[in-house]
Every structure is written in C-alpha cells, then in structure tokens.
C-alpha cells in the first residue's frame, strides 16, 4: 500500500484531514454563453410562432390621452404655423377628446400673447353636437340651422341688421354731427369685456371675436345693457401664420366654399349681432376674389359690414355698395398709441371730422386707459354739439347723406 507524503508525515494514531478539491463546471465560460444564447433563440422563436399578434411584431406606440384635472392645466400651446402631415392629422382627429381647448394667439408685430379657450367644435367636424345655449331676446325667425349651430338669416322681410340695431334718435342724428365708437377684440378676457360693457355708454358699439369659453354669455350681457354688437371674423393678415388671428381664420389660399364654411362656424358662435367686421385681415380684405363671396353671403343674411380701417386698400366698401349693404369704415384707431394724451388727441380729431363731414367713426380696444378716456370724453360730447350714436345709426346716416 502506497501512502502519500501527507500520510507519512502524520503522527501515528491520527487520521489525515483530506482537502476538498474545488468544484468545476462541466463546461467553460464560452460554452455557458453559447448555451444561454441558444435558450434565448428558442424562446423567441416559440413566442413568434405561438403568440397571436395581428401586427406581426411591428413596433407599437401607445398614447395616453388624459382630460386635464381642474387647477392643474398646463400652459396653453401656441398654434403651429405649419400643417401636420396627413397621417398625423388623421390620428389627431380620431384621438383628440371633444371639449374645450386653449390656444395662444401671438401678435407678430408686438409679440402680445392672448390665451383663448374655444370649444371642440371646428370646421373638420361633421356637425355641432353641443349647440350653444340660445341667448335671450333673439328673434327665432332670424335663425336657421347650420351644421355648426344657428346662424342669421332674413325672414319675412326682417333683417338682423334692423332688428338688432340699438335704439337711437335717428331724426336728431340726421340734423347734427355724429360720432360712432366701436370697441373691438371683446370676448377674450371676461374682465376687460365686462369693463367695456358696464363703463361705456349704451351708444358705444361692441365687437366680439368668436373666441372665449362662452362668448354668447358676454354678448348677451352687452345686449342687456343696450349695446348693439358686432361679430368680428378672423381674416388672414400679411404676416400669417406668424401673426395668427386664431382658429378657422379665413385664408386667401382656401377655396370660396371652404372660407364660407369657416364663416358659418364663426356665425354660429353667438347670436344677436347687427353686422360683421374683420378681425385683422390686411391680406384678405384687399383681395376681391376672396372677399366677394364673404360680403355677398353677409348681405344675403341681412347683416351690415364694418371695416376697421387697418387696410387702406380694402375692397370691402366697393363690394358692400354693390350689394346695397349697410357699411362703415373706421376713420381713426383711437388707441393706436395707448396714452392719455394721444387718445385725447385722436378723439379731438374725431370731433373735427364729424363737424366737417357730418359723420365720424373711431375704433379702440378695451384697454383700461382707452375705456377711461373714452368714457370721460363721451360725457361732454353733446355739450359741444356732437351726438354719440350706435354704429348702425352712423351707417344709415351715411347712406342717406
């Protein structure tokens, strides 16, 4: 029997403690990696064969659409200046939840931002599922149903221009110089709109944009305070889309039927207006081909037209005359420079023009300084031999003069 060196060196009577040999894998590290890869491939092939996936392994994108929780809304997104690809537009149309949305209109010249909340109804919808609540004091005979809601129409010889014109002593107005003031851009911003409604005389005409969370409610309040109202229709300016009037803007690049469809959307936003006016639109109002269908349609529906005077080459006056349509154009923008001194200076110019020509029209925005100065000016106007009248009265006097 052969003993190992450890056995020979161990004292008699004691057993040798054998050292354990380290455990070794039956294969090397490279072989282990190969086995794992093989198992992965077998699993993948099995999943591909037996899994019922109609997309055949195509990549899948999942989009979560969440209604905003009150009080946690994100800042409004700016309207994009370029159109989305057709596929993206189709997906957005299907996925977008119906309901109000907020957009930001950016004035390209001044950089002023206006957040606007509009309802989900747009020109790409088949109809207006949630029609605006009917306003008080509206003659139902002067309404007809469109796919967006109720829009004005002539009925039994009655016209919206005549029915919704504010009361005025027109016999007196025919004998003395008159001034009409229009406050535009209302409906976006309830506070400034309310200031214009409550702080200015009833003879001041108020022009509302079609935007805002509830333009009908503010327009109804204005009529309750005996103001006559106009609807401002957004039209394409020269620097569009950098200067964007808002959703459903009438564009020179659209066909007449497309612009008329957009016009119907605007007309349906509220009721009770005596006429329409341009909102921006320096490029649109000088193009006869695109303006003619709009003026013709407005005249057919018994409305007047007010040109804000921002485009010297506007064709609105000529087109309105061809339709025997009540028309007026602003002679001055009262608060182009929004300081007390400049506003007072322009109001004095309006007075002088009224005395020279018999009629003068000014337009302003609902800035606090504008409302303050115009309000103070109107209190002393009649003492200087000039009558403040609603815009419709000025329109009728100009036609008869």
pLDDT-wise least confident of 110-119, 311-320, 332-341: 110-119
Instruction: Note the pLDDT tens digit of each residue in 255-290.
Output: 999 999 999 999 999 999 999 999 999 999 999 999
Structural domain spans, the chain? 144-400
CATH superfamily of 144-400: Glycoside hydrolase/deacetylase (3.20.20.370)
Decide if pLDDT at 218 tops 90.
Answer: yes
Query: 303: closest CA among 289, 313, 287, 316?
Result: 316
pLDDT greater at residue 129 or residue 8: 8
Count of Cβ atoms closer than 10 Å to residue 332 Cβ: 18
Q: Report which of 178, 107, 119 is spatially closest to residue 148, judged by C-alpha positions.
A: 119
DSSP state of 155: B
What pLDDT is attached to residue 307? Answer: 98
> Residue 106 and residue 115: Cα distance in Å, rounded?
9
**Highest mean pLDDT (candidates 8-22, 48-62, 135-149, 321-335):** 321-335
Tokens of 65: 């659409």
Which pLDDT band, with edges at 50, 70 and 90, does 22 fall under? low
């Amino acid at each position: 029997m052969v003993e190992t060196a450890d056995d020979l060196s161990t004292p008699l009577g004691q057993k040798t403690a054998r050292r354990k040999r380290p455990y070794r894998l039956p294969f090397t590290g490279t072989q282990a990696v190969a086995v794992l890869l093989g198992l992965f491939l077998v699993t993948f092939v099995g999943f591909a064969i037996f899994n019922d996936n109609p997309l055949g392994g195509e990549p899948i994108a999942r989009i979560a659409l969440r209604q905003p929780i009150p009080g946690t809304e994100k800042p409004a997104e700016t309207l994009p200046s370029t159109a989305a690809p057709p596929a993206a537009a189709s997906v957005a149309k299907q996925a977008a939840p119906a309901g109000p949305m907020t957009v930001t209109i950016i004035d390209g010249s001044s950089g002023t931002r206006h957040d606007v909340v509009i309802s989900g109804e747009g020109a790409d919808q088949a109809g207006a599922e949630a029609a605006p609540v009917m306003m008080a004091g509206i003659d139902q005979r002067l309404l007809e149903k469109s796919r967006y809601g109720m829009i004005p129409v002539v009925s039994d010889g009655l016209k919206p221009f005549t029915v919704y014109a504010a009361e005025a002593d027109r016999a007196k107005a025919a004998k003395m110089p008159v001034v009409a003031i229009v406050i535009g851009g209302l409906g976006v911003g309830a506070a400034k709109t309310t200031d214009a409604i409550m702080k200015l005389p009833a003879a001041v005409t108020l022009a509302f944009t079609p935007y805002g969370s509830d333009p009908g409610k503010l327009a109804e309040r204005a009529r309750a305070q005996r103001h006559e109202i106009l609807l401002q229709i957004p039209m394409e300016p020269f620097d569009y889309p950098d200067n964007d009037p808002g959703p459903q803007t009438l564009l020179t690049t659209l066909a007449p039927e497309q612009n008329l469809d957009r016009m119907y959307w605007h007309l349906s936003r509220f009721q009770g207006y005596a006429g329409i006016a341009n909102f921006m639109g320096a490029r649109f109002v000088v193009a006869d081909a695109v303006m003619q269908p709009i003026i013709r349609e407005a005249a057919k529906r018994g409305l007047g037209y007010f040109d804000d005077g921002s485009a010297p080459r506007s064709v609105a006056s000529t087109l309105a005359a061809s339709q025997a349509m009540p028309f007026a154009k602003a002679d001055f923008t009262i608060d182009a420079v929004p300081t007390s001194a400049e506003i007072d200076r322009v109001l004095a110019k309006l007075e002088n023009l009224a005395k020279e020509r018999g009629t003068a029209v000014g337009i302003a925005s609902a800035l606090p300084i504008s409302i303050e100065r115009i309000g103070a000016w109107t209190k002393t106007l009649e003492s200087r031999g000039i009558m403040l009248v609603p815009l419709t009265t000025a329109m009728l006097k100009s036609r008869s003069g």
